[in-house]
């Protein structure tokens, strides 16, 4: 193996640049050449490649987004398109690829491995929704950003004695909502993986005001419903003043936290060593703070398990 490629795919996440940096520096240390593939699998098929040096990644560890750019490219599910991608890699002498992205990206990494280009996936998504890993790159930064935003929302909620229902990202996964809800002192955390009782939530909020609280806060995972719809449902059971708020894509931006930088660096370094050992078709994850691997095929059958004890802790403190 002489030359490896690296790409970022799907929704961007803070820490992707730190992972690209770690891959580049580790590979160069082992005498490999590194090629950045821009715009994810779309750029792979188009042959949008740039050589990467250690200097190119020197100032990237603190930057949000991905300097290789990203794209959602469902066309890569087609075998013909996958073959075109593999041909581009062969044409440019690229022997192996590291893919940083969400679960969709793993299908691409597996397809390339099956076409003879060893590929390894790194979990890069703010959603923390990937099976067999306790952590995905960007999750901690997104939680931090959402928590900071909610702290500001609480100020205005308190001034007006209002209830705010705040939508956080995560697709069908409630991990961001659980962590941010607990960190923000929410009266209720609502996620897609668990049933909820909207009448009971309204009672909790009413009781809060009756006890002298000056605001109410519901942290709502986007996979449940829109904040505005939840507010309308909630108001059927309580006559408080309420507003819905969608935090949206701001959660994907900003400089990565220490945890994201450190974990992205560890996993990027680990992934290069897997390729040096001639391995492919693997997904890197974190377990007890250390990188591990699983067969990508296992991921397709697996289901991410969140830390649902966070909900229990919150309920014990907030329910009437
Ligand atoms: O997967 C990351 C994520 O930010 C989700 O939390 C969100 O549902 C989705 O991407 C938004 O996608 P897009 O940027 O394509 O609107």
pLDDT in tens, 184-239: 999 999 999 999 999 999 999 999 999 999 999 999 999 999 999 999 999 999 99
pTM confidence score: 0.97
Average pLDDT, the chain: 97
> What is the number of the ligand 1 atom nearest to the C-alpha of 72?
15
Q: Is there a binding annotation on residue 102?
A: yes
- What pLDDT does residue 103 have? 84
User: Which residues have CB under 6 Å of ligand 1?
Assistant: 11, 102, 125-127, 169-171, 222, 252
Paired tokens of 24: 């580049």
- What pLDDT does residue 319 have? 73
Q: Is there a binding annotation on residue 222?
A: yes
Strand order, beta sheet including 118-123: 49-52, 33-37, 3-8, 96-101, 118-123, 282-287, 290-295
pLDDT in tens, 126-154: 999 999 999 999 999 999 999 999 999 99
Contact 191, 174 (CB under 8 A): yes
- What pLDDT does residue 320 have? 66
pLDDT less than 50: residues of the chain: none
Task: Supply the residue whose CA is at minimum distance from atom 8 of ligand 1.
Answer: 171
Nearest to 69 by CA among 12, 124, 23: 12
Angle at 228 between CA 226 and CA 233, to 5 degrees: 95
């Amino acid at each position: 193996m002489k030359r490896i490629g690296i790409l970022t795919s799907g929704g961007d996440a803070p820490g992707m640049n730190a992972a690209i940096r770690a891959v580049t520096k580790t590979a160069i240390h082992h005498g490999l050449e590194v090629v950045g593939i821009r715009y994810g699998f779309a750029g792979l098929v188009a042959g949008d490649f740039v050589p990467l040096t250690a200097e190119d990644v020197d100032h990237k560890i603190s930057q949000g987004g991905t300097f290789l750019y990203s794209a959602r490219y469902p066309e890569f599910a087609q075998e013909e398109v996958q073959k075109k991608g593999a041909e581009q890699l062969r044409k440019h002498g690229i022997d192996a690829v590291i893919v940083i992205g969400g679960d969709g990206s793993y299908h691409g990494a597996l397809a390339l491995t099956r076409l003879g280009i060893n590929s390894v996936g790194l979990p890069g998504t703010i959603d923390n929704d990937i099976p067999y890993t306790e952590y995905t790159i960007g999750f901690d930064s997104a939680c931090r950003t959402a928590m900071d935003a909610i702290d500001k929302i609480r100020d205005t909620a308190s001034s007006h004695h209002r209830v705010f229902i705040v939508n956080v990202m995560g697709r069908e996964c409630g991990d961001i909502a659980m962590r941010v809800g607990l960190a923000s002192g929410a009266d209720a955390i609502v996620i897609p993986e668990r049933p909820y009782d909207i009448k009971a939530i309204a009672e909790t909020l009413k009781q809060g005001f009756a006890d002298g609280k000056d605001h109410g806060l519901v942290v709502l995972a986007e996979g449940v419903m829109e904040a505005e719809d939840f507010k309308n449902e909630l108001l059927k059971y309580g006559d408080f003043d309420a507003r819905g708020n969608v935090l949206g894509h701001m959660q994907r931006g900003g400089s990565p936290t220490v945890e994201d930088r450190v974990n992205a660096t560890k996993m990027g370094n680990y992934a290069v060593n897997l390729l040096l050992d001639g391995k492919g078709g693997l997904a890197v994850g974190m377990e007890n703070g250390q990188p591990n691997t699983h067969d990508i095929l296992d991921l397709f059958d697996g289901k991410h398990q969140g830390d649902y004890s966070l909900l229990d802790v919150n309920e014990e403190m907030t329910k009437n």
